[in-house]
């Protein structure tokens, strides 16, 4: 039972089904989408095959330039907030007992798997006038009357951080749980306080992990498409929302595809950057 | 002392942040009357039974569960032979397929959704319920692929060799050694894909959104027309399912290891 | 012939020869220990016998039949791995019954055979236990029982005792040897522990750099090492340069060794002499002059380190023979000719 290169057709057989499925239902659709991004839009129907770059050209307009800029800024802000909270939290989590860790992991996975719809609904409830947190502040005398905290950028940001935080923690978890515990102990024996040990030793040691996580969370946040709709105003719509909007409601598939291709390029560039950062970790 | 206090405080704040919205939704879900108010006025679990009795919600629930059950199964059927092949054979080029399997999960979901939308529309099956099963299977194939790859890499190869020395051929080794050992990873891969498929919105919406209502689609549609407390009860119901499934994985599997810790002996 | 024969067996990984033209004949029922430092090719050779590695050239014959093309699962052998490779998802009984089960042996018969085997390894009644609940020594025995379940033609063990502590290891060595004698099965054990090899083997095969350096009985390996590598690897020894002078006498450290002569045509070589054969005398005539630099008193034996013009010679004596030699003393080192083995350099 040696591990060896496949030799006969039969050796390749197990690969057949997965390969066909992934090629037919991922590679082909993906290519279709790229092709469609160069097609011409047909009024009242889908599109006609063609090769035009109008769809990309339109993308350079001031309006979509603004959308892109807003999407990127929003994703960056979410990524920074999430990592800032998740890093110390995950560090403390990995220091907890195995039992505590498991309970937390179950909770984090449960929240992570929650539909964006549910997250959006939950926060819209929490920020609503009739059932929101402001109702708790009124009896405390901190507020004269309850009020709605949405729609608004703050609500969008809160919802997205809520969505991305469990993801961030779970991305950081492997790196932190494998961290050599003697690292901090060594710092402690040299007289560093826990806090100084953390910022002086742990954070620099994991600098590359932090950068990689920032990028991962950034890409994750770019994918958010319902929260800006539920919790924000139209000017808070991200690229993902506009892609859906163009594809479904404006029936402009070529333009939606062009935006999607653009989004892929940004994501791929950033994932590539992550791999580069991750790869350099081995050397450093 | 300071450290313990800081840790407790940090844990409490994050817990409050994560649980807060869910507590409010849970509170809202037991309101006696159809109103969006918190703290709840009166107590009633009628909105929970509504999930199963109201034809609209029940149909959406059944559609979601069927979609999740079939697509997770298909995802496992795709991931199992692939991860087995990658473990069994020396074929570096085959890692391309691993990459293809992970890509839909890493990229923003709207991209996969749009790709599948154009694909199904082009070949003329747009809106068929089974297209959602395939779409979700491809979208979530990453999860069983990752858990199974982890499972295979955790098999000590000498176990396979020792089975061969005792007379087991390839098929027998697969049946008596390999499959029993990766079964926990297979189940967790299925469970992850199942729960995420249950909650998935955009891929389902773009592929079958106009012909079929899954629960997330139903909630979103309902949200646009105003509030019904059933949304709250469904949300809590989903949180409970996810928590239950992940607790089971933690109970019967090694959750920290699945999520990247080296081994259970570490702590 | 009956038994296991290696014909010019080699294994190359690229340009590196892990096993280099091995020729060996093992009569049926022999207990063989493959001994050598790590990376010498002994495990690769064992895995080739099991069919887990393919030989680059050469053939392996079992009872006159070439088994080289036979896949592992048809070779009818029992093997114990260094990791023991007990199936974690099966109980002790299910582990031992594994080879019987995959041959669809009747349940009753399986049960009987398992109990028989567990009795053989002194673990009767352990069938229902999970393997994770066993001690190191018990796991060891279970792995052995499982390998023997089918009464195989060949019993192969790869560093089987390396995970055990010293005391348990010695006990298991004796037990394994007794078991093999009872069953009369051809057995090959790979080990880097020369004490283990000396305790168990009929035939010790010393390997170095992929080649067999010497294959002989334990006592011959010890008393008549074939080369400096074997002499140095088995036990401890003094390796000293020897030269023939014009009169044909053998000169070691400037002094002739009475009664010792070099083979014809050899002008320079090495002698190997075991520490327990070296005699030390105070104020004696003849022999090599030296100064005692250190004495290690181990209770049962005493090791004396003597510096003779820059070369360290070690002598081992019992406390009774020690005399009044102390550190710093001038001594004469006497090398009895019949204890010296002359080796090529």
Q: Using an 8 Å Cβ cutoff, are C306 and C290 in contact?
A: yes
Query: What pLDDT was estimated at residue B32?
Result: 72
Q: Using an 8 Å Cβ cutoff, are A166 and A112 in contact?
A: yes
Query: Inter-chain contact C147–B165, Cβ cutoff 8 Å?
Result: yes
Separation CA C145–CA C152 (nearest Å): 11
Query: What pLDDT was estimated at residue B1?
Result: 63
Phi, psi of A17 (to 5 degrees): -65, -50
- From first to last of the 345 residues of chain C, give the pLDDT tens digit: 578 999 999 999 888 889 999 999 999 999 999 998 888 889 999 999 999 998 899 999 999 899 999 999 998 899 999 989 999 989 999 999 999 999 988 999 999 999 999 988 888 889 899 988 898 889 999 999 999 998 898 999 998 888 788 888 888 898 889 989 988 999 999 998 888 888 899 999 999 888 999 999 999 998 889 888 999 888 889 999 888 888 778 888 888 888 888 887 788 889 999 999 998 887 766 778 889 999 998 888 889 999 988 889 999 988 877 677 888 888 888 888 888 888 887
Q: Using an 8 Å Cβ cutoff, are C278 and C292 in contact?
A: no
pLDDT tops 50 at residue A281 = no
Phi, psi of A157 (to 5 degrees): -60, -45
Query: Inter-chain contact B81–A15, Cβ cutoff 8 Å?
Result: yes
Of A110, A133, A244, the CB nearest to B242: A110
Whether the ω angle into residue A151 lies within 30 degrees of 0, i.e. cis, is yes
pLDDT tops 60 at residue B180 = yes
Number of residue pairs across A and B with CB atoms under 8 Å? Answer: 279
Q: Using an 8 Å Cβ cutoff, are B197 and B72 in contact?
A: yes
With CA atoms as reference, report the closest residue to A85 among A174, A179, A193, A160: A160
Residues of chain C with CATH 3.40.50.300: 3-232
C154-158 β-sheet, strand order: C77-80, C154-158, C186-191, C31-35, C203-208, C211-216
- Identify any residues that bridge with C215 across adjacent strands, giving them in sequence order: C205
Separation CA B23–CA B37 (nearest Å): 13
The CATH code of the domain that includes A102 is 1.10.3720.10
Query: Inter-chain contact B169–C88, Cβ cutoff 8 Å?
Result: no
Residue B180 resides in a domain = yes
Among chain C residues, the shortest Cα distance to A1 is held by C52
Q: Which chain C residues have a beta carbon less than 8 Å from that of B169? A: 71, 73
Query: What pLDDT was estimated at residue C284?
Result: 65
With CA atoms as reference, report the closest residue to C222 among C33, C41, C44: C33
Interface of A with C (CB under 8 A): 1-2
Mutate to test the interface with B, among A11, A121, A196, A237 (most CBs of B within 10 A): A121
Residue A126 resides in a domain = no
Among chain C residues, the shortest Cα distance to B159 is held by C85
pLDDT tens-digit readout, B114-128: 888 888 888 888 888
Residue with tokens 């393919």: C54
Query: Inter-chain contact B165–C78, Cβ cutoff 8 Å?
Result: yes
Separation CA C91–CA C98 (nearest Å): 10
Separation CA B157–CA B143 (nearest Å): 24
Averaged pLDDT score across all residues of chain B? 85
What DSSP element (H or E) covers B100?
helix B95-106
Helix (H, G, I), strand (E, B), or coil: what is residue A130? coil
Separation CA A271–CA A282 (nearest Å): 17
Query: What pLDDT was estimated at residue C44?
Result: 92
With CA atoms as reference, report the closest residue to B31 among B17, B14, B50, B15: B50
Chain A, residues 10-39, CB within 8 A of chain B, namely 11, 14-15, 17-19, 21-23, 25-30, 32-33, 36
Q: Using an 8 Å Cβ cutoff, are C283 and C339 in contact?
A: no
Separation CA C218–CA C197 (nearest Å): 8
pLDDT bucket at B265, cuts 50 / 70 / 90: very low
Residue B171 resides in a domain = yes
Query: Inter-chain contact A14–B137, Cβ cutoff 8 Å?
Result: no
- In percent, how much of chain A has pLDDT > 90? 5
Residue A54 resides in a domain = no
With CA atoms as reference, report the closest residue to A91 among A194, A17, A242: A194
Separation CA A226–CA B55 (nearest Å): 26
Neighbours of chain B (3+ CB pairs under 8 A): A, C
Separation CA A121–CA C247 (nearest Å): 107
Residue B208 resides in a domain = yes
Q: Using an 8 Å Cβ cutoff, are A160 and B63 in contact?
A: no
- pTM score: 0.83
Among chain C residues, the shortest Cα distance to A2 is held by C52
Query: Inter-chain contact C53–A1, Cβ cutoff 8 Å?
Result: no
Among chain B residues, the shortest Cα distance to A82 is held by B14
Distance from CA of A62 to the nearest CA of B (A): 23
pLDDT tens-digit readout, A220-239: 888 888 888 888 888 888 88
- Mean local confidence (pLDDT), B176-197: 89
Residue A217 resides in a domain = yes
pLDDT bucket at A203, cuts 50 / 70 / 90: confident
Among chain B residues, the shortest Cα distance to A5 is held by B90
Helix (H, G, I), strand (E, B), or coil: what is residue C343? strand
Residue B112 resides in a domain = yes
pLDDT tens-digit readout, B205-230: 888 888 888 888 888 888 777 777 88
Among chain B residues, the shortest Cα distance to A118 is held by B235
CATH number of C3-232: 3.40.50.300
Query: What pLDDT was estimated at residue C96?
Result: 93
Burial of B260 (0-12, 13-18, 19+ CB in 10 A): middle
Half-sphere exposure for A141 (CA within 13 Å, toward CB): 0
Q: Which residue has the higher pLDDT, A172 or C10?
A: C10
Separation CA A173–CA A235 (nearest Å): 35
Residue A128 resides in a domain = no
Q: Using an 8 Å Cβ cutoff, are B156 and B94 in contact?
A: no
Residues 6+ apart with CB under 8 A from B254: B184, B263, B264
Query: Inter-chain contact B138–A27, Cβ cutoff 8 Å?
Result: no
Task: State the helix-helix crossing angle for B46-53 and B229-252, rounded to 10 degrees.
Answer: 90
Tokens of B117: 């939308």
Q: What is the DSSP string of C196-215?
A: HHHHH-SEEEEEETTEEEEE
Q: Using an 8 Å Cβ cutoff, are B198 and B241 in contact?
A: yes
Query: How many CB atoms within 10 Å of residue C25?
Result: 14
Give C260's DSSP letter. Answer: -
- Mean local confidence (pLDDT), B185-209: 87
State the residue range of the domain holding A226.
64-120+151-283
- Identify any residues that bridge with C26 across adjacent strands, giving them in sequence order: C4
CATH number of C236-343: 2.40.50.100
With CA atoms as reference, report the closest residue to B121 among A267, A46, A212: A46
pLDDT tops 90 at residue B95 = no
Number of residue pairs across B and C with CB atoms under 8 Å? Answer: 63
State the residue range of the domain holding B96.
56-226
Distance from CA of B165 to the nearest CA of C (A): 5
DSSP H stretches of helix in chain A = 9-22, 28-36, 54-59, 62-95, 98-113, 116-126, 134-137, 153-177, 181-189, 194-197, 203-205, 207-222, 227-231, 239-244, 253-283
Q: How far is CA A188 from CA A198, B5, C251, in A?
A: 10, 18, 63
Mutate to test the interface with C, among A2, A3, A4 (most CBs of C within 10 A): A2
Half-sphere exposure for C303 (CA within 13 Å, toward CB): 12
Q: Which chain C residues have a beta carbon less than 8 Å from that of A2? A: 52-54
> Does the beta carbon of C53 lie under 8 angstroms from any beta carbon of chain A?
yes
pLDDT tops 70 at residue A284 = no
Query: How many CB atoms within 10 Å of residue C338?
Result: 8
Picking from A10-24, A143-157, C17-31, C92-106, which range would have the lowest pLDDT averaged per residue?
Answer: A143-157
Separation CA C221–CA C215 (nearest Å): 8
Q: Which chain C residues have a beta carbon less than 8 Å from that of A1? A: 52, 72
Separation CA A115–CA A220 (nearest Å): 14
Sign of CA dihedral C133, C135, C138, C139: positive
3-state per-residue secondary structure call for C108-176:
HHHHHHHHHHHHHCCCCCCCCCEHHHCCHHHHHHHHHHHHHCCCCCEEEEECCCCCCCHHHHHHHHHHH
Q: Which chain B residues have a beta carbon less than 8 Å from that of A29? A: 112, 115-116, 118-119
The CATH code of the domain that includes B105 is 1.10.3720.10
Task: State the helix-helix crossing angle for C136-148 and C107-120, rounded to 10 degrees.
Answer: 130
Q: Using an 8 Å Cβ cutoff, are B77 and B207 in contact?
A: no
Burial of B192 (0-12, 13-18, 19+ CB in 10 A): buried
Residues 6+ apart with CB under 8 A from A108: A166, A169, A170, B18
Tally the domains of chain A. Answer: 1
Query: What pLDDT was estimated at residue B266?
Result: 35
Give C269's DSSP letter. Answer: E
Tokens of C266: 């050899």
Tally the domains of chain B. Answer: 1
Q: How far is CA B114 from CA A52, A258, B119, in A?
A: 19, 11, 8
Cα of first residue to Cα of last residue in chain C, in angstroms, is 36
Q: Interface pTM (ipTM) of the complex? A: 0.84
Of B103, B206, B250, the CB nearest to A106: B250
Q: Which chain A residues have a beta carbon less than 8 Å from that of C44? A: none
């Amino acid at each position: 039972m040696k591990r060896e290169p496949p030799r006969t057709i039969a050796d390749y057989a197990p690969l057949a089904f997965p390969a066909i499925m992934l090629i037919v239902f991922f590679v082909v659709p993906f290519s279709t989408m790229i092709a469609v991004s160069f097609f011409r839009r047909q009024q009242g129907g889908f599109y006609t095959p063609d090769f035009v770059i109008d769809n990309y050209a339109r993308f350079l307009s001031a309006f979509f330039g603004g959308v892109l800029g807003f999407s990127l800024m929003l994703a960056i802000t979410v990524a920074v907030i999430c990592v800032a909270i998740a890093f110390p939290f995950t560090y403390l989590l990995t220091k907890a007992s195995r039992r505590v860790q498991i309970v937390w992991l179950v909770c984090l996975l449960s929240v992570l798997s929650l539909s964006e719809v549910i997250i959006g609904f939950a926060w819209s409830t929490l920020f609503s006038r009739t059932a929101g947190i402001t109702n708790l502040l009124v009896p405390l005398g901190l507020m004269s009357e309850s009020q709605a905290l949405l729609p608004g950028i703050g609500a969008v940001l809160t919802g997205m951080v809520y969505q991305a935080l469990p993801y961030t923690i779970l991305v950081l978890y492997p790196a932190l749980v494998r961290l050599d515990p003697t690292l901090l102990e060594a710092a402690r024996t040299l007289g560093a306080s826990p806090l100084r040990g953390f910022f002086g030793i742990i954070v620099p040691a994991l600098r590359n992990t932090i950068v990689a996580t920032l990028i991962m969370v950034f890409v994750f946040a770019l994918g958010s498409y319902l929260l800006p709709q539920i919790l924000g105003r139209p000017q808070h719509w991200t690229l993902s929302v506009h892609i859906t909007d163009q594809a479904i409601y404006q029936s402009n598939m070529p333009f939606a595809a062009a935006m999607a291709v653009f989004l892929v390029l940004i994501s791929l560039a950033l994932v590539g950057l992550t791999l580069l950062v991750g790869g350099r970790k081995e050397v450093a | 002392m300071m450290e313990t206090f800081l840790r407790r405080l940090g844990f409490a704040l994050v817990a409050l942040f994560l649980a807060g919205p869910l507590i409010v939704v849970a509170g809202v879900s037991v309101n006696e009357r159809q109103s969006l108010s918190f703290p709840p006025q009166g107590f009633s679990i009628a909105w929970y039974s509504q999930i199963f009795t109201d034809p609209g919600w029940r149909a959406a629930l059944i559609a979601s569960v069927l979609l999740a059950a079939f697509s997770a199964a298909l995802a496992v059927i795709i991931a199992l032979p692939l991860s087995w092949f990658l473990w069994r054979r020396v074929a570096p080029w085959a890692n391309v397929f691993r990459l293809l399997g992970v890509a839909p999960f890493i990229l923003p979901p709207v991209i996969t959704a749009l790709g599948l939308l154009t694909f199904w529309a082009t070949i003329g099956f747009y809106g068929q319920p089974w297209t959602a099963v395939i779409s979700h299977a491809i979208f979530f194939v990453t999860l069983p692929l990752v858990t199974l790859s982890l499972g295979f890499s955790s098999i000590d190869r000498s176990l396979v060799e020792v089975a061969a020395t005792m007379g087991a051929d390839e098929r027998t080794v697969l049946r008596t050694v390999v499959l029993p050992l990766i079964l926990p990873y297979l189940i967790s891969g299925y469970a992850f894909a199942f729960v995420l498929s249950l909650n998935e919105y955009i891929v389902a919406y773009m592929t079958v959104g106009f012909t079929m209502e899954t629960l997330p689609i139903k909630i979103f549609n309902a949200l646009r027309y105003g509030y019904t407390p059933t949304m709250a009860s469904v949300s809590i119901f989903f949180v409970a399912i996810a928590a239950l499934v992940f607790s089971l994985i933690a109970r019967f599997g090694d959750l920290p290891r699945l999520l990247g810790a080296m081994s259970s002996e570490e702590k | 012939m009956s038994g296991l024969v290696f014909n010019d067996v080699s294994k190359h990984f690229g340009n590196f020869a892990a096993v280099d033209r091995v020729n060996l004949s093992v009569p049926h029922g022999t207990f063989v220990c493959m001994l050598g430092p790590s990376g010498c090719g002994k495990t690769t050779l064992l895995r080739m016998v099991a069919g887990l590695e393919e030989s680059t050239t050469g053939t392996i014959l079992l009872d006159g039949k070439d088994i080289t093309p036979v896949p592992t699962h048809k070779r009818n052998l029992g093997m114990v791995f260094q990791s023991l490779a007990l199936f974690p998802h099966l109980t002790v009984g299910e582990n031992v019954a594994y080879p019987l089960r995959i041959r669809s042996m009747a349940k009753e018969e399986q049960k009987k055979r398992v109990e028989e085997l567990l009795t053989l390894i002194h673990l009767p009644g352990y069938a229902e236990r999970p393997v994770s609940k066993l001690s190191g020594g018990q796991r060891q025995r279970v792995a052995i029982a499982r390998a023997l379940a089918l009464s195989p033609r060949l019993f192969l063990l790869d560093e089987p005792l390396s995970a055990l502590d010293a005391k348990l290891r010695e006990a298991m060595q004796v037990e394994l040897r007794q078991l093999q004698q009872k069953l009369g099965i051809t057995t090959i054990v790979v080990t880097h522990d020369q004490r283990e090899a000396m305790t168990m083997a009929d035939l010790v095969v010393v390997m170095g750099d992929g080649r067999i350096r010497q294959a002989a009985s334990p006592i011959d390996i010890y008393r008549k090492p074939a080369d400096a590598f074997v002499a140095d690897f088995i036990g401890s020894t003094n390796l000293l340069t020897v030269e023939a002078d014009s009169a044909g006498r053998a000169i070691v450290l400037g002094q002739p060794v009475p009664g010792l002569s070099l083979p014809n045509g050899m002008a320079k070589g090495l002698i190997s002499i075991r520490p327990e054969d070296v005699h030390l005398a105070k104020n004696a005539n003849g022999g090599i002059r030296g100064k005692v630099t250190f004495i290690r008193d181990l209770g049962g034996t005493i090791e004396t380190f003597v510096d003779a013009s820059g070369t360290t010679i070690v002598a081992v004596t019992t406390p009774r023979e020690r005399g009044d030699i102390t550190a710093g003393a001038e001594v004469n080192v006497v090398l009895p000719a019949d204890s010296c083995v002359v080796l090529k350099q």
